[in-house]
A and B are shown apart, each in its own frame.
Chain A
Amino acid sequence: MSLLSTLARLQAVRSGRAEPLATVRHRHLSERPMVVVPLAAAGEAGAPLAVMLGTDREAPRLHIVPQPLNRDQRFDFLARFGADLLPYLESFADEVEHVEGTERDAGTGERTPVVRELCADAPQLIVPNTGSVQHLALIGRSTRFRRTAEDADPGPYPAPTQVPLLGRWLTHLTDRAQVPGSSLLLPMTALLSRHWATGQSHLEDQHLAALLAWHVPPAGLTGAEAAERAESERDAHGQLVRPSAGPATDPKFDELVLAPAIARHDAALAAARAAAPADAARAELLVKRAAEQLHGVLEQVLLPTWADVWQGLDLLRALPEGGHVAERWEGDRWSFTGHRDRLAAGEPPQPKQDDAVTAARKLAQREREQVRLEVQEALDDPLAMAEHRLAGEAFAGEVVAVVPEYDTSGRSAKPRPLLVVHTADRPHADAGREVHRVGAATPQRGVVAGFDPDGGTVTVRVVSGMGRRKEPEPGSLPEVGERVVFTLFELTPRQSAPLPDPEDTPWTHGGPPGAAPMSASSTEEWE
């Protein structure tokens, strides 16, 4: 946490309201996002209990596992979840645009032009918190290797067809969520925390209802009071008025509401199985009623969070979108298109563990995206730039003098003007440091020629972005009195060195991946 966001938190403590941490929205928001609120069964990793999802806030759809320990019912649930979610994901696969690029021929090394498909839009899943992302990742891990009746060797427990497909999509989306700045799958708590500070700690911000309480506290309450009420208020039956978004449910709910409802459903099922043919219809009715009741209690627990997520979306939509958000969303569209193509090509599911080259590539990508995200956010948002100014990594100020000077060492003279910038910032501007001007028509580099901290002036010798003539192109230099911002970091991050192909993995990194990585994973014990 930086001092600026600490200051925002301190202000939020005083004002009793969430305080802005951004002046623009730094993440893409889809026009048709799919809100997914999953619940997990306590005690077992990745065991689903229920999920509420939909693209229409007035019409959430709920799927439940009536008995979380029963693996058949879990598969039924996953099949229904898949049948509900997959059409949404696939609806983005058909509309494509064509992008021209080049590809290096593996044999000759020549570059040949190719036209690639890029999906015009991509799906977006919004979940309540980071715990939900982890829960979806676990579901992905537990289902993507499942074999179906259509496989050559279905094994003793074949799963419905959608189940492994759902697993592969969830794995892809949760994996992509690790990439900084990506927006295919976003947790609402992280979205809100990026854009506003509350007067409580990061730990407490993980509770979506408490976090939202700082935005819209009920009349007469401060954010802190409203947040505490959201965390702990219980009704006459000892149940939380604002159930936590989980994915784990409140133990008191499990004990007093869920366990009895599950037991009733189990008993009704057992009775129906043992019923004589004459009573079968009545027994079926009892099962149906027990199932509806179970459905009802889970719906009660999920609806408040469902409403919270949509309310969070409303808050975020009120912010104007940052200038570079669309560019980063294009990366998400490439990611979606790539996965669509891998599925269409019949590639095997993502392995349990990445091979060395894939792991290195993912890591490099995340690092690169992290740098890009920081730079782009700073360019889009003065509050993000303020972080860099506070850290001495950038400075803003007014141009007080432009001194034309020339480099005459070469055949023709080149412009090397000096800019004197008056600034209140204290950059780490040692002489000779390279600086970059923000907002120049073409990328413009300079070198610090002098820094006078007492007078508050930085002298920058501009070395590029002025055209090819002896005199700088008109408009390529700021004028006296103009406000400028310079950064000490580059504005377009460098590409990292290419990684070897998987076949060329050196022995130090495990050598080329084994020929049959799938064989072990597909026979995983389930029961």
Chain B
Amino acid sequence: MPAETRGLRVTRAVAAGFDGHSAAALHPDLRVFTGDLVRPYGLPLREDLLTEGAGHDYGEMAAGLFAQALPGGEPADLLILAFSSPDVRPAAPSSLRLSRHCPGQPTAFAVCDQGSATAFAALRIAAAHHRTGGCRRAVIVLAEQSALHHRPAEPVELPAEHRAVVLVCEEAPGEGMRVRGQAEPDGVQALRSVLDEHRRLGPGARLLLAADLARGDLPDGVEAARPGQPFTGVWSLLADRLADRLPGHGPLLVADHDRRLGRLSTLTLP
């Protein structure tokens, strides 16, 4: 590897759960928007949740995490908000609002509509931006909140709690992170594939699995996220493991599988 190689990788992560609800969950806009959204599909509103004001705001949740994620006020070039289930401000550009709170006031946008693979898509975009000269430090915001204000058209797992994770991606000497995705409808096969990849990375490698992907007894060096957080679960686990990572550590493999979309995603950190 050439000495000058500097890759982008996740260097820090901060995760937090949130109690209560956002004022936006009681704003009349949420009822109007959701009512208009579901009408063509014939789905009923969850009047109980709308009346109660259940739910949280992705921008509000994540804004308070930047001080921990970027404690020295290090400026970011790029901010990507990734989500799977909807925010209580479903029509608002929350990523731009977050940009105001983020050092460097980075260029911001959001990605969605890929289930749990959306978080990996955001990382893949950040890596591509870095390798094509577009950024040196990227901030990825992952968020999910527990209230869906309409009946879903089919059963779907919703988060047990409101949660946000901020991943800081920075240049570092050596190779960068690798993000991969593949179609894989079968969860058992997806786990087998990830365990094979973990073995290929060598004895010092650790593997972090989304709760949905884990089955049976897990080999040494493998642990699963706690269940209940279908989008942020494995990233909260990553935040914990990055915080206690020792010098000379081996590679870290993060894996999630979206059953609905049949997509297996992995992140390898050197």
A binds B: no
Interface residues of B (CB under 8 A from A): none
